[in-house]
A and B are shown apart, each in its own frame.
Chain A
Amino acid sequence: MHVIRVILRLVALVMILVLGACGNSASKTAELATARANSGISTPTRGFLAGGDARKTAEKPVPLLIPVRLVISAIEINASIESVGIRPDGDLATPAHNPWEDVGWYDLGPLPSERGSSVIDGHLDRPGGYPAVFWRLRDMQVGDDVQVTSNAGKTLHFRVTRIAYYPPDQAPLQDIFGNLGGRYLNLITCAGDWIPSQHQTTLRLVVYTSLD
């Protein structure tokens, strides 16, 4: 009897711990569902044509065919595209206005319609581990369709040709950013395990696509 009591107490302790975590998890699940749903909601492109950028619009005309929306049906992505440049350390910058829902187009590279490698990046996850816009990029397969719509309303279709993972210091930058052999759109996000000391993950995932 004493033994059974001990066992029951242990089981009760376990139940308390697991239910407590599940309680957190349940609310997390709800928030995750909300986050996933939000990634598909059309949000206005901020800081590009409206409000604070009115000065830029007045100073020089906004070129056409700037990519503004990325749609990948295979993994249920429907995201606004922000223009991003480079960070002071020379790395590609990431979306700043809506960092977890938007993707970023490298605006120092070619437009998606031009010869060369156009690049779009997006966050894998948010602080705390919630999925971000490119959470499911890993589920893409060769042959998947990628759509990019410009500010002029023109939609281009790209087809996935390669998928690769690289340690960040071994990523083939000339291939990702500088291939002039066609019209490419390369998608990039993080992958692998989190390295706390380096504040980054062990890998980068690059999905290479070619204009259809």
Chain B
Amino acid sequence: MELNHSLALTMRRLSLVLGVLALIAFFGTQAKPASAATSPSFVRIIHASPFVGTADVFVDGSKLLSSFAFGAVTDYAAIPPGPHKVQIALVGKGIGASALTETLTVNPGSAYTVAAIGTQASNLSLQVFADNNVLAPGTTKFRVYQLSPDAGSVTVAAGGQTLVNAISYQNASNYLIIPAGGYTFDVNSPTNNATLSTSATHDTNKVASLFVVGMFNGTPKSALVTAQAEGLPGVPNTGSDPYALSRTDTVQSLTPWLWPLGIASLLLIGSGFFIRKVIVK
């Protein structure tokens, strides 16, 4: 009787332990390391201020751009996310003679176009646009940035077709999807009864930009600046269904073998309680 009791107790404990272990294996907990790496922010700068001539651009006290000419636009540069002190001074005058000092705050992984704008010292500023460079497969993404202070609301057309209607100063259009190829863009300023034109070739899977800068009545004279950035694909799908049967395989996939073990674990646990009941009886 005592032997039976000990055996039953041992069996119960063993079955409980095995059952719990099997359940843990069945659910297959797997810890994933948290993402600790922070992505930089990406910023391109366009000089669109008629007030400041060729300039030096400083970020956080260090010179980022030298002899930055009006109408020039940079590539996207990676900078740490967060706030940054941006200063713009006339070329060669040094950071102490900055005509513009402003804090620019950017988010990790995001891309921005930052336009230096303003027609006088009192309205110099940075106009920040959040960009989306995800590509449109097989086509071109296109965006207009209206940075001409006296253009008013402009209309952008190509081949007689209106692409962007009535876009005002300090604004950027939505992204348009246009076929890749050569274009002649016509930017009409009803305010000035004037049209600017420029030609550009835009490639497949790229992101194209058209900047309207300068003064229709003044200097520097109004102009159209084009730029093109690489379009970004989405991340790949490199995972596979773990429950799928391979076409050349006749053996069941790894994961379903855990099902019998899971059922077995429940049976073991149940047997442990059953034994206890019998003993109590």
Chain A residues in contact with chain B, CB under 8 A?
A: 3-4, 6-7, 10, 13-14, 17-18, 20-22, 24-25, 27-28, 31, 86-94, 104, 106, 108-109, 116, 121-130, 132, 134, 162-166, 168, 171-181, 188-192, 194, 196, 199-201, 203-204, 208
Q: B4, B78, B235: which contacts A171 (Cβ < 8 A)?
A: B235
Chain B residues in contact with chain A, CB under 8 A?
A: 4, 7-8, 11, 32-37, 39-40, 42, 75-78, 108-111, 133-138, 205, 229-230, 232-246, 249, 251-255, 257-258, 260-261, 263-264, 267-268, 271, 274-275, 278
20 A–B contacts, CB within 8 A, in A order: A6-B271, A20-B257, A21-B258, A25-B254, A28-B254, A91-B233, A92-B235, A108-B205, A123-B240, A125-B242, A127-B245, A128-B242, A128-B244, A129-B243, A129-B255, A163-B33, A163-B37, A165-B35, A168-B235, A173-B234
Q: In terms of DSSP, what is the predominant structure of the interface of chain B?
A: loop
Q: Are A128 and B42 in contact (CB under 8 A)?
A: no
Q: Are A179 and B32 in contact (CB under 8 A)?
A: no
Q: A3, A18, A174: which contacts B111 (Cβ < 8 A)?
A: A174
Expressed in whole angstroms, the minimum distance between the Cβ of B59 and any Cβ of chain A is: 14
Q: A6, A124, A164: which contacts B36 (Cβ < 8 A)?
A: A164
The docked-state distance in angstroms from the alpha carbon of A90 to that of B275 is 61
Q: Which residues of A contact B258 (CB under 8 A)?
A: 21
Expressed in whole angstroms, the minimum distance between the Cβ of B240 and any Cβ of chain A is: 5
The docked-state distance in angstroms from the alpha carbon of A190 to that of B36 is 17
Q: In terms of DSSP, what is the predominant structure of the interface of chain A?
A: mixed
The docked-state distance in angstroms from the alpha carbon of A108 to that of B234 is 13
Q: B32, B240, B263: which contacts A165 (Cβ < 8 A)?
A: B32
The docked-state distance in angstroms from the alpha carbon of A6 to that of B272 is 11
Expressed in whole angstroms, the minimum distance between the Cβ of A175 and any Cβ of chain B is: 4
Q: Are B237 and A91 in contact (CB under 8 A)?
A: yes
Residue of B nearest to A133 (CB): B238
Q: Are B251 and A172 in contact (CB under 8 A)?
A: no
Q: Are B233 and A106 in contact (CB under 8 A)?
A: yes
The docked-state distance in angstroms from the alpha carbon of A189 to that of B267 is 39
Q: Are B8 and A208 in contact (CB under 8 A)?
A: no
Q: Are B240 and A28 in contact (CB under 8 A)?
A: no
Q: Are A18 and B275 in contact (CB under 8 A)?
A: no
Q: Which residues of A contact B260 (CB under 8 A)?
A: 17-18, 20-21
Expressed in whole angstroms, the minimum distance between the Cβ of A207 and any Cβ of chain B is: 10
Q: Which residues of B contact A123 (CB under 8 A)?
A: 238-240
The docked-state distance in angstroms from the alpha carbon of A108 to that of B241 is 28
Q: Are B40 and A130 in contact (CB under 8 A)?
A: no
Residue of B nearest to A127 (CB): B244
Q: Which residues of B contact A21 (CB under 8 A)?
A: 257-258, 260-261
Residue of A nearest to B30 (CB): A193
Q: B230, B244, B275: which contacts A109 (Cβ < 8 A)?
A: B230
Q: Are A188 and B36 in contact (CB under 8 A)?
A: no
Q: Which residues of A contact B33 (CB under 8 A)?
A: 163, 165
Q: Which residues of A contact B111 (CB under 8 A)?
A: 174, 178
The docked-state distance in angstroms from the alpha carbon of A41 to that of B140 is 41
Q: Are A177 and B230 in contact (CB under 8 A)?
A: yes
